Structure 1
Amino acid sequence: MRESIIEPVVWIFILIIAALLSGCLDTTENINPGSSDGHNNNLAPQPVVSATGIISNPPEYVDQTLVDAVAYAGEHVTLDASQSYDPDGHIIGYRWFFYDNTVSEQSMVSRVFEIKNISSLKGLPLIYTIVLEVEDNNHSYGFLEYRLGVIPREYTLYFDSTRLSWTKPGESCSGIRAARGILRDVSRLNYVLEKTVFLQPCRWNATLYIEKPVLAHIRSVTLILYNGTGEKITEKTVNLGLVGFWREKAVSFSGKINREEEFRGIELVITGFSLGEKINVLYGDGKASFISFDFLERF
């Protein structure tokens, strides 16, 4: 009786072994390495991003190995995932995860990317990381990390009393007086940023609105840009000539910065004389003295 029970069991075991050896029974699980859920024979969807509103030829200082695209701050950038595809099905859902913890479920999104804390930047571009998730009809997911580099078109700073300001000040002025009514040959004013700002190679231009008595004479006006340690970055002088019978003048400067710099402030030097009356540098309103750094113009 015992032999009749054991014999069928032995034969079943022999048949299983034979099937395995002949390849008739496959015990491996086919999981596509691209599938996010481990379903058999299910290929993961492939996210694809295209962008408009980006710079086709970014400046040389941008390391394009760090980013997928580059855009100017304040510009609308449109990200399009509609070309995403699924090798064995179709896409049924999109989700964009943004840096500010917002989520969009549209295939196409449009956003403005800003540079808000300019003084905290230690280099450019400022990189925004966006994650795209796509879902297919088998509920598998594909992910793509998209890195958008953002750079400024320009910085504009306004002269205001003893500082440089990011916003246009109210109407005011700084007066340069002769000491005790005697003739003063050179007068200086300093304008300082609250925090240093990182500059890429650029061109800059500045306009100072100066008001003086008719009989006061200004021979030249010099702007000296300096860095966080007080070292000179660049200097520009405008000579106003011998004839100075004017009361008000806009004095313009231009120059370039050839390398990366940490900009802190400006020293204004005026040479000439005034017999006790003020020479004013005007701020705000329609005569806002300013300096602008242009990162678009190449040289």
Structure 2
Amino acid sequence: MAINHLHNNHEIFSSTKGRLIFTIFLNFIITLAEIIGGLISGSLSLISDALHNFSDSISIVISYIALKLKLKSNSIKHTFGLKRAEILAAVINSAVLIVICIYVFYEAILRLKNPEAINAGIMSIVASIGLLANLFAAILLKKDSEKSINIRSAYLHIVGDTVSSIAVLLGGLSIYFWKIYWIDPVLTIIIGFYIIRESYIILQEAIHILMEGAPLDISIEQIQYEVEKFSEVENIHHIHLWMVGENDVHFEAHVNVNDMKISQCDYLRKEIEQVLQTKFGIHHITLQFECNQCKTSGLIEQHP
């Protein structure tokens, strides 16, 4: 039984889904502890940290659902699959976090106008527990966050709460030793600005993908240069370059070539695809070969 128990624990921590599930459970516990501790101690920053943790739990649930949807096979109804579920999850998570921070700002300003006595001992103890739990959760998701914008948005929630817990702990110690009660709402505002900044970066990136934006690290002009180096190619035009998912880049274009046999075109197509794959990391490629068929040959087609 002990061996099976260890084996099950290993399975939980060895997969992204397992780590997400454990982090969800951990965050719900932190949230409950901080709400109780915040109400008893009277600390707004502790309660705001609890709200962040609660939003973390919801965001990680969304991330988990999105991860499951992403793994679904392509179908007649969804020919690209459901890869964008992760991107949508990143948008929801980041936007919700910004809204929560704005609400907490409002509460902090009210507290600045009317400072209240705070039980710094309870505040510091609960903040210490939250800090340790958030650090552990951040370590769990760190590796996964480097591969997925969806996990990165959830990881940002955890990092934000780790920083928040540190600030709340320092605030609790300052109140305990020096009775500086105004530091509680001030720390809340500082933490909020940090989280909003990081959330905005992810939100901007996710919306760019949803709007079928071109990858920022790929130059269309450089693609044109590489393709037109082939002696058989007159020009490449009507290019479409977009992302279905974070690491799923698609490319289509018209290639104007010299008059040649279909077999030669097929060889040329393979050569061009090889260049696009090796030099630009594009693996979904559709090329339309033609011989002076388009009335316009602009790099980007302009629709009326």
Q: Same fold (TM over 0.5)?
A: no
Larger Rg: 1
Higher strand share: 1
| TM-score (ref. length: structure 1) | 0.30
What TM-score comes out, normalization by structure 2 length?
A: 0.30
